[in-house]
Amino acid sequence: DVKVTQSSRYLVKRTGEKVFLECVQDMDHENMFWYRQDPGLGLRLIYFSYDVKMKEKGDIPEGYSVSREKKERFSLILESASTNQTSMYLCASSKPGQGVNTEAFFGQGTRLTVV
């Protein structure tokens, strides 16, 4: 059974803290993504990576950074957490190329609250 695992389901952090969200996939996928999901706004892409040590900005990268040191692991870093970063964070992975076998598989999500 394919799996994308996010390290935490729920997190509460204080404003100004550095926050690490971890994601691991066991499908040997090249592509990995971080999204945030907010009511009425859907899923918005923060960063993605198509190879180890490679990263590209998505639509809303401000206030975030990422790290991909190994193929299976993609980390999202909030350098200095702020209350407007309170959200559901979703990690996904996929194979490159075209076609249905490149579908994105999602983790369970991390609900982050910044107080």
Partner 1 sequence: QKEVEQDPGPLSVPEGAIVSLNCTYSNSAFQYFMWYRQYSRKGPELLMYTYSSGNKEDGRFTAQVDKSSKYISLFIRDSQPSDSATYLCAMRTLGSARQLTFGSGTQLTVLP
Asked whether position 57 contacts partner 1 by CB under 8 A, the answer is no
CB 3 within 8 A of CB 71: no
Task: Give 58: exposed, middle or buried? Use CB within 10 Å, 0-12, 13-18, 19+.
Answer: middle
Q: State which of residues 12, 27, 41, 115 lies at the interface with partner 1 (CB under 8 A).
A: 41
Q: State which of residues 19, 46, 90, 114 lies at the interface with partner 1 (CB under 8 A).
A: 90
Asked whether position 61 contacts partner 1 by CB under 8 A, the answer is no
DSSP 8-state secondary structure symbol assigned to residue 71: T
Contact residues for partner 1, defined by CB under 8 A: 4, 31, 33, 35, 40-45, 48, 50, 56, 58, 90, 92, 94, 96-100, 102-109
